Chains A and B, each alone.
Chain A
Amino acid sequence: MPGRRSLFVLMALAFGFAFLYLPILAMIVYSFNASRLVTVWDSANSPTLMWYAELFRNAPVLDSARLSFRIATVNATGAVILGTLAAFALERYRRFRGRALFGLLTTAPMVLPEVITGLSLLLLFVALEQAIGWPGGRGATTITIAHITFSMAYVIVVIQARLATVDRSLEEAAMDLGARPWKVFFVITLPLIMPAIASGWVLAFILSWDDLVITSFVSGPSSTTLPQLVFSKVRLGVSPDINALATILVLIVTACVVAAGVYMVRLEKRRARDAQTAFDAAT
């Protein structure tokens, strides 16, 4: 019976969403709670924006936010540039020596435990500093480099998948018409994989924005990212302003995801519309 089945599907859906989003919802609701005690709802003075207001007066929070944003942006850009090059090499030059190994190595950070990635990067930075005097101490630079190494793996997967769908004969046609290989890349390949590059960028941004484990290994005393700040505050006891801060973090990630989603839907719609025009023109 379709009625019963759809009811079952609805319930499964509701349960699934509840499981995923109830904790976050609770956190968001409590961020508007006026009481200083996290678990007590002060119905007299709630909801209130006092914790949000407090956040924006809190210098360490603002500093961390700025740092996290800067690292995430630089990381996303770097990961996309390197990831595109690697994906291109993997997808287009299928016959180079050591291709399988290269492919495995670039995607390994996805499956390696973060603790291991973080630790090995820390060891590398320390060794490098002793050997060539760079990087001088740990901070924003080392965090960014560390983030690039692991988020690049995800970017490669996204871009390589897209690259595989780009018809090789398009690149050949461009070459046939007189474009040299590097020109073919910039004028033909790059525009065609732009959607993947955009989603790769957003993905890398979020990965960096969220990361705590690897960051803790390679950050220095003067560089505390937002997740680190939240974590250290929670260890001293949960205070309501954390809820507000976490809510903002979640909002930013959501905004990224929604923006990427809308962009994709719009691309898809435009394709469909253009295809319709073509159909009308043909008939």
Chain B
Amino acid sequence: MANQMREAAIVGIHEYPLRVAPGRSAMQIKVESIKAALDDAGLKWSDIDAVYDTNDGEGGGGLGMAPYLGLKPTVIDTTQVGGSSYEFQTAHALRDIAAGKANVAVLTYGSTAASSRRAIGTGGATGQGLPNWQGNMEDPYGMITVGNYALVAHRHMHEYGTTTEDLAEISVATRLHATRNPEAVKAMTDLQFMGTGEITIQDVLESRMISDPLHLLECCMQSDGGGAVIIASRDVARGTKKKPAWIIGTGEAIKYRENGGDITTSAAAQGGPIAFAEAQVTPAEIDIAMIYDSFTITVATILEDLGFCKKGEYRDLAKGGRFRFDTALKPTLNTDGGGLSSNHPGMRGIFLLFESVRQLRGESTSQVAGAKLAIAHGNGGALGGTHAGGSVILAAD
């Protein structure tokens, strides 16, 4: 059990500041981020003995990353489950450190999705690569990334009466937080958003329909970016520069299309309870919910699945400005501005960890006073089809 034992903590973070970074490679973004995250922790290059990688640089996963860095780590992990990779890797780092296999782990991300015009968010398409069992059954029908999520949204609306107004609460609160984060404002400016100020529910309703029922202002941006996380053992964490954010619970699960299955329920329904049981806390105690906002429906579904409300009751949870940093209701949502309005280079999971840590340290631009508990939940793959869900519950020192 790795619960309140506090065997490992996030001790260093760095979010790469630019969302449009032409002329840089993913590997360079990763390395600049490691240096800054080590500095944030007060640790040095030679302290790293575990490398976790998603194969997002110029290839090779951990096998490519360690040689580029010039390290000979004792743990190499190339877990790649899309946007939730970093929550899975955090879970693995906790286990590896608790088992005595490593003391200082590094997780990195680098992406040039905007500069290289990779298709994600509103732009994603399918149907490339070798002939395969899934593609042959789906490619003739024209699935696109946002369409996959829209399938979830329509069924959610049909079964529970959820409306676009309900979902738009996520866009509105997230944009409020983005307007307070200078890096998010710069991101929206550099990516030529039509406006970078606060938005209303009406603005969301009137934005262009992308794939019914999801509107433009319900979809994530497509940016460059990256960053690094340093996770250390209890002994190392006691001597780092800033207050550690203790990893007190983790959960991992996948979900996929099944005959008769419930598309409105995500992998979080399986992995979330495991994380909460390990952490010995309840959803009601969570101050900060950093939930992967590829699209509004992703957040609504995951909040239900993690137990912030019952399945189908998101519409009630969303009321009263609950998600804003400046109301007393919990949980506060995506205080960095989210994938909708701050940073989404394709795999947002690592940014959920950054902002959770900032809140627990008291460093957020939309700080919730006295935040003690945060959950980062990454969703990788596609919500309406095959996807992975990883939960990490963090506690302040």
A binds B: no
Residues of A with Cβ closer than 8 Å to B?
none
Residues of B with Cβ closer than 8 Å to A?
none
